[in-house]
Structure 1
Amino acid sequence: MNILVYGAGVQGSYLAHVLIKSGHDVTVLARGKRAEELEKEGLVIRHYLQRKTTVDRVRVIRRLETGDAYDLIFVMMKYSDFGAVLPILAENVSRHIVMVGNNMDAYAMQDYLSKHGQSPKQIAFGFQTTAGTRTDGRVICIRGGHGQMVIGGLNSPIPFRSLLDQAFKRTKYKLSYHDQIDAWLKNHMVLVVPMNMVILFHGFQMKKVVRDDKRLRQLVAAMGEGFHVLDSLGYPLTPAGQASSIIRYPRLVRWALKLFFLLPISRLIDGTDVELHALNYTFAELRTKSDVPTPNWDALEAERIIQS
């Protein structure tokens, strides 16, 4: 199968590794220094928990031409970068596209590709549950098991599911199909934004995060407020147990976060202020539509604006 992984950060690099090992013809789209690293050194991944390093040779392109045809395209981008990629995907002849990552605008993205696509597009949305960072030409990847992607279509089951199943058939990578992927992504965003606000306040110095009890309290409370906003607007809380635990047991959640931030693995979290701003800006529209008060989220947001 001919597959393009559009993006060579932590997420795209690990997905490309999985697909290469399963025997597919994999191309990675990268630019600048990252493209040069891949061409010179290959796809180098340090699997942090598994304590091993892998190196894969991979075909690299720097731009997607209109006539470049792929059976599947996985777009592995920051939320703030998706907008720039949509016109390129629309002009390309490939039909089956999976947008992977934090996403608050899934319906708008699908609508754009449907209206502007030079060929009929079938779109799915997903989130890969890996984390990590890039340093010295290699990726440090944090994953449980062999990797997993929560994935789904918006208005109906994914029409090209058979292609996806075929792509991962020879791997232990898990595709978890979800019939409410837009709600899942919005629920995930409620976790990501407050947490990254607090982490960015302290410049990724996790010991300072742990000692900042005031902001940790605000962080957990803001998550609860975010879930209440989604619920008030009719979005399912999914996974249901996740939201209820954070709302009902804030003290326990706060201590769990402290324990996590004390672990060396927490220092490998990779986040950007640009993506955080884009996610928060979009969620502000939902907060405006809702009548749910969000004082803790508002306080974190106001301080982030002052510090940025």
Structure 2
Amino acid sequence: MKILIYGAGVIGSIFAGKLALAKNDVTVLARGKRFEELKNDGIALVNPRTKKVEHATVNVIDALLPNDWYDYVIVTMQRTQVDDILSVLSQNCSKNIVFVVNTASGYDKWITEVGKDRLMLGFPSAGGERKDGKVYYFIGRGIQRAFQTTTFGEYSGEKTKRVDTLIKIFNQSHIPSVFCNEMDAWQKTHVALVTNIANALYGFNCENFQFGRSYNAVKLMIRGIQEGRQVLRKNGITPTPWKLFWLDMPASILTAFFSAFMRTTLAETTMAKHCASAKPEMKFLQQEFDELIIKSGIATPAIDRLKKNL
């Protein structure tokens, strides 16, 4: 399978490395220092828990031309960067453009540029950080999947052959992946969750261990998350996936859980470090979600307090 990963950050590197190790023909679009690193050394993935290092060789380009054809173009960029590349994607001949991008504002702009027939959607359960040219990573597996699994879908909601194939490729590459028929609801639910977590962490300079020791701060975050889910319902959006129903449990129970979880290295890797490096994106996502809050007409005092940390 011929795949282009458009974006060479942490997520793009994890996807490219694992897909290449599974014998797919993988190309990464990168620029600057990252282009040179990938061209000279390939991708080095480091499991922080086991210290195992995997090396993957990938093709590297610094521009996507109109006639460059791929089975899938997978866009792995922050929301703040995507608008700048839409014209490039619109001119390319590839038929399957997969936006693995955070958003709460829907897909109208993407549809205008690439068309409904080419648009596919997804979101990763993966993350980590780059250090000295290596990617120290995690992939959502086991109990972590109770929180989030790498997910793909179609704008139409149909389970098509091409989305089935993509999910199969990812599963074969040891990135557990599933289908969702309501990706817009899925992504809005995700933004309602991550913006409140990020805003809470910003109040502690992304020091998750310190944050986890503050019962009141964690409880405020829980209230913000639950307000966000109320905003979705008021707008006629069912929080998705259903397995996150536990976020509607009493705040006292969730506060105890998150207080303990935030004092782990897993929370540091999966949440705190990402928030520290993605503040402009979180501001953008909060602005998108604010539109949903305004439309809902309901009061969100916890979210309002947390937003001040931005």
Q: 1:121 to 1:67 in 2, by over 3 A?
A: farther
Distance 2:41 2:297 in 1: 53
* DSSP 3-state at the match of 2:120: strand
CA distance in 1, matches of 2:208, 2:157: 41
CA distance in 1: counterparts of 2:243 and 2:155, whole angstroms:
22
| Residue number in structure 1 paired with 2:123 | 127
| Counterpart check, 1:42 vs 2:47 | no
Assess if the C-alpha contact under 8 Å between 1:4 and 1:29 holds in 2. Answer: yes
Q: 1:281 aligns with which of 287, 295, 307?
A: 287
Structure 2 distance, partners of 1:127, 1:216, is 26
Share of identical aligned residues, percent? 28
Structure 1 unaligned regions, length at least 5: none
Larger CA deviation: 139-148 vs 2-11: 139-148
Deviations 1:23-61 (A, max 9, x none): 121100111111122122220111224431111111111
Shift of 1:294: 0.3
Is residue 80–residue 274 contact of structure 1 (8 Å, CA) maintained in 2?
yes
Aligned to 2:85: 85
User: Is the counterpart of residue 267 in structure 1 residue 268 in structure 2?
Assistant: yes
Distance 1:60 1:208, change over 3 A: same
Residue aligning to 1:233: 235
Give secondary structure in 2 for the equivalent of 1:151: strand
How many residues align? The count is 299
| Structure 2, unpaired ranges of 5+ | none
Could you say if the C-alpha distance between residues 169 and 220 of structure 1 is closer, same or farther in structure 2, counting changes exceeding 3 Å?
A: closer
1:287 maps to amino acid? I
Please tell me the root mean square deviation across aligned C-alpha atoms, in Å: 2.1
Matching residue of 1:200: 202
Question: 1:248 maps to which residue?
Answer: 249
Q: For the residues of structure 2 that align with 1:246 and 1:52, how far apart are their CA atoms?
A: 34
CA contact (8 A) 1:124 1:153 kept: yes
Q: Is the 8 A contact 1:39 1:60 kept in 2?
A: yes
Question: Which residue of the partner structure matches residue 57 of structure 1?
Answer: 57
Q: CA deviation at 1:172?
A: 3.8
Q: Does the aligned pair in 2 maintain the 1:131–1:141 contact within 8 Å?
A: yes
Query: Partner residue of 2:218?
Result: 216
Deviations 1:131-179 (A, max 9, x none): 2111111111112449952111122315423542563474343331111
CA contact (8 A) 1:2 1:72 kept: yes
Q: Could you say if the C-alpha distance between residues 253 and 162 of structure 1 is closer, same or farther in structure 2, counting changes exceeding 3 Å? A: closer
The equivalent of 1:101 in structure 2 is 101
Moved more, 134-143 or 226-235: 134-143
SS at match of 2:232: helix
Q: 1: distance between equivalents of 2:189 and 2:28?
A: 29
Give the secondary structure class of the aligned counterpart of 2:181: coil
CA distance in 1, matches of 2:297, 2:100: 31
CA contact (8 A) 1:46 1:139 kept: yes
- TM-score normalised to the size of structure 2? 0.89
Match in the other structure for 1:136: 132
